[in-house]
A and B are shown apart, each in its own frame.
Chain A
């Protein structure tokens, strides 16, 4: 059984202009100790998924489908149980480490707070544990007494990671954990996360717009476009042999230095991501797709098998042929 199993997740935000579909039927499976990378551009719904997993979305947001954490339905949990699950089973590392820490409280106390709230230890024991946690994330234990402003951006992010580990969760959701950081610090934090994940056998859902970051830390990758997963599979395959043209374009936006095909040849996609309330018909990607053909505006592709554990929502995938054939037969197409 997987640790996290999301099935047919739909999320509609309620706005003045009517409901906005942010997530439109997403399935996610994460096994124990597995790292899944979820990538996509702003507005594709990736952060909405993170919010949905712990029910952190604004009230009034419509969430349907099922989210099973250790076999327990998150959407049906009572508030008390939900609070217990947050942080003890699943914790989050946010993007804005600078703002997620209370500026007038010592960082040690803030980590301790998480432990004490969940009654995982007595005060003295918690104190010892905080020292250990800081060491684990590569900060000297004397930093316990520091205030957030005394730490650099990278150190604050390390504190956030220590906090996420405080209650021994089995799943960590990392939502753009390195986006605001400099390249060098980003690499340090990524390395730390990867090592912790390996040493502690953590499962991780790693969300970012930067596909190249994911290739370093993830076992599997899922690419989102317009509220759906358009490609999913082993990280290396998805990144280097992308089956979906959107994945290809996203991967090419992070060129390999030294590779001749990128030299003086920036590549990108024409147009912009669509607005969730105004999606194109057929394949939502077809207006921007360099490989679109006559069937694309008419058939909305589901995920087709590309290889073992590797699926892509594109009509150009070999296993999509039967669908195309069926559509060509008069009277059976949509």
Chain B
């Protein structure tokens, strides 16, 4: 239901009006800040009502906590097979090693905790690059149109149809398996879908009368993009980002699992790879496989749940339903 309009009694305009604003109620900056605060509050209020979104947020909160406080939760020494804290090889879960040990005697718990860090960092950094490229390309293509759009969209289509795994394998071979290769491969294969979504939204926004009005007021392209286009695609970018992180973490695990990851850093994918290499799933050493696997599923699930919840709240098309 539409809120009731503030009633006015539009009187006939007096010849000339000099309004003395004795005490300006607020400065424009305060107004802007109040507005943003109110908008954020509104979104948060809606979000809290969304069970799926809240569950996702709690799961994610747990993993973020683990990633940040990894050094306090488990000594990094536990990652080194020569470390004194390592125990017997392939030991089933016990009090000392709650999740058992791997074939080098390292605690799977320690590995999983430290793996959280790498998986999260790879996920976030590659998403940041994905979104940066996607938004830039989508914005330029959508806003300027004409030949720029044709060129950029053909490029996007080209990247969109590249199969992820073969490209990853080729690149890892060329660049050597490393932390950065993983991020690079994920970013290069994920940005096209982001670019397409952003472009579609920009196309619809740029024909809105208020953009036209600002143009008639004399606004530069920069002003139009930063004041009218970006704030209105913002929510979409946000929701898209969250979903991309989930995909990126999954990709990282896949790449590491295939041995294309960074051998020097422990991620969930590398733990899984090692366990498979050692034949753990077939030897009944379930404690080595389940924790990293479960962690991947939970984190991806939490990001997806948050993403869909945000999409529900921020996407005007869905909200209208």
A–B direct contact (CB < 8 Å): yes
A277 CA to B7 CA, complexed, in Å: 15
Q: Is the CB of B5 within 8 A of A17?
A: no
User: Which residues of chain A are within 8 angstroms of B11 by Cβ–Cβ distance?
Assistant: 270
B19 at the A interface (CB under 8 A): no
Give the contacts of B2-52 with A (CB-CB under 8 A): 2, 4-5, 7-11
Q: Is the CB of A16 within 8 A of B9?
A: no
Q: Tell me the smallest distance from the CB of A99 to a CB of chain B, in Å.
A: 18
| Interface flags, A3-23, vs B, CB<8A=1, else 0 | 000000000000111001000
User: Which residues of chain A are within 8 angstroms of B4 by Cβ–Cβ distance?
Assistant: 275, 278
Q: Is the CB of A271 within 8 A of B7?
A: yes
Q: Tell me the smallest distance from the CB of B185 to a CB of chain A, in Å.
A: 44
User: Which residues of chain A are within 8 angstroms of B9 by Cβ–Cβ distance?
Assistant: 270-271
Q: How large is the interface on A (under 10, 10 to 19, 20 to 34, 35 or more residues)?
A: 10 to 19
B1 at the A interface (CB under 8 A): yes
Q: Tell me the smallest distance from the CB of B83 to a CB of chain A, in Å.
A: 61
A15 CA to B3 CA, complexed, in Å: 13
A318 at the B interface (CB under 8 A): no
Chain B residues touching A, majority SS: loop
A270 CA to B1 CA, complexed, in Å: 24
Q: Is the CB of B5 within 8 A of A272?
A: yes
A270 CA to B9 CA, complexed, in Å: 6
A275 CA to B1 CA, complexed, in Å: 11
CB-CB nearest in chain B for A272: B5
User: Which residues of chain A are within 8 angstroms of B7 by Cβ–Cβ distance?
Assistant: 271-272
Q: Tell me the smallest distance from the CB of B218 to a CB of chain A, in Å.
A: 29
User: Which residues of chain A are within 8 angstroms of B2 by Cβ–Cβ distance?
Assistant: 275
A301 CA to B5 CA, complexed, in Å: 26
Q: Tell me the smallest distance from the CB of A28 to a CB of chain B, in Å.
A: 28
Give the contacts of A275-318 with B (CB-CB under 8 A): 275, 277-278
Q: Tell me the smallest distance from the CB of B102 to a CB of chain A, in Å.
A: 56
Q: Is the CB of B1 within 8 A of A17?
A: yes
Q: Is the CB of A15 within 8 A of B10?
A: no
User: Which residues of chain B are within 8 angstroms of A275 by Cβ–Cβ distance?
Assistant: 2, 4-5
User: Which residues of chain B are within 8 angstroms of A16 by Cβ–Cβ distance?
Assistant: 1
A275 CA to B5 CA, complexed, in Å: 9
Q: Tell me the smallest distance from the CB of A270 to a CB of chain B, in Å.
A: 6
Q: Tell me the smallest distance from the CB of B229 to a CB of chain A, in Å.
A: 29
Q: Is the CB of B10 within 8 A of A271?
A: yes
Q: Tell me the smallest distance from the CB of B9 to a CB of chain A, in Å.
A: 6
User: Which residues of chain A are within 8 angstroms of B1 by Cβ–Cβ distance?
Assistant: 15-17, 20, 277
User: Which residues of chain A are within 8 angstroms of B8 by Cβ–Cβ distance?
Assistant: 271
User: Which residues of chain A are within 8 angstroms of B5 by Cβ–Cβ distance?
Assistant: 272, 275
User: Which residues of chain B are within 8 angstroms of A271 by Cβ–Cβ distance?
Assistant: 7-10
A232 CA to B31 CA, complexed, in Å: 49
A16 CA to B8 CA, complexed, in Å: 26
Q: Tell me the smallest distance from the CB of A21 to a CB of chain B, in Å.
A: 14
Give the contacts of A32-51 with B (CB-CB under 8 A): none
Spell out A's residues near B (CB within 8 Å). 15-17, 20, 270-272, 275, 277-278
Spell out B's residues near A (CB within 8 Å). 1-2, 4-5, 7-11
Known contacts A15-B1, A271-B7, then 7 further A-B pairs from the complex at CB < 8 Å, ordered by chain A residue: A16-B1, A17-B1, A20-B1, A270-B9, A270-B10, A275-B5, A277-B1
- In the complex, 6 of the A-B residue pairs with CB atoms within 8 angstroms, ordered by the A residue number, are A16-B1, A17-B1, A271-B7, A272-B7, A275-B4, A277-B1
